Amino acid sequence: MNQEEQVQVLGLWGSPFSKRVEMVLKLKGIPYEYIEEDVYVQKSPRLLKLNPIHKKVPVLVHQGKSIAESLVIVEYIEDTWTTSYPMLPHDPYERSMARFWAKYADDKVMSTLWKACWGPESEREKMVEEAYDGLKYLEEELGDKQFFGGETIGLVDIAADFIAYWFGIAQEASGVMIMTAERFPKLQRWSQNFVRNNIIKEVLPPKEKLMALFKAQFGNNASNEA
């Protein structure tokens, strides 16, 4: 791959948003250079130049051009490398439904799950109920399929990566148990299928490192409420 075609990813080791981009690149077999950004300590001049509006990761650089926002990047990858491992179905209606559920998982469910674990104690009961509702619709949409994409990992699975991996660790760290096998057996089965995929496993951050990060976050929140 010549320098003009080179793909770079600016990311953060534990970010489910950054990992979405890496997952799709690896599933499609696209080589890339990964650049770690320590966004919590000091954002690099490179990041500020490539993503001046949000100043966040991930950022994809391809042909000298930068693209921000994880699901926007995923769709760019899908549109650019069309011949390998499709992330979206061919049928226009099914494509639109995949985009709908990806946005639902990203915008609605993920934020609700996070607040249910780490939100203010006074709001947690309400957030847990909202989390149940959000997961219920995903459970129904998944049905008996192996993945939301059918037999293979697709856009919705990638958008729901936090639910598949990060959230289980977050539950353990916070002690707030929401997505259990008893209540959501299909989502539990799906999450196991997802994280056991050999390519996905290459990208996932170490559980122990994430656990330490989440426990520290939970401890900070608890001390702030005391």
Please report the pLDDT score of residue 40 as a whole number: 85
pTM attached to this predicted model: 0.94
Please report the pLDDT score of residue 189 as a whole number: 98
HEC states along 119-165? CCHHHHHHHHHHHHHHHHHHHHHHCCCCECCECCCCHHHHHCHHHHH
**pLDDT tens, the chain, 226 aa long:** 455 579 999 999 999 999 999 999 999 999 999 999 989 889 999 999 999 999 999 999 999 999 999 999 999 999 999 999 999 999 999 999 999 999 999 999 999 999 999 888 888 899 999 999 999 999 999 999 999 999 999 999 999 999 999 999 999 999 999 999 999 999 999 999 999 999 999 999 999 999 999 998 877 664 444 4
Please report the pLDDT score of residue 5 as a whole number: 75
Please report the pLDDT score of residue 20 as a whole number: 98
Compute the CA torsion angle 185, 186, 189, 190 (nearest 10 deg). Answer: -150
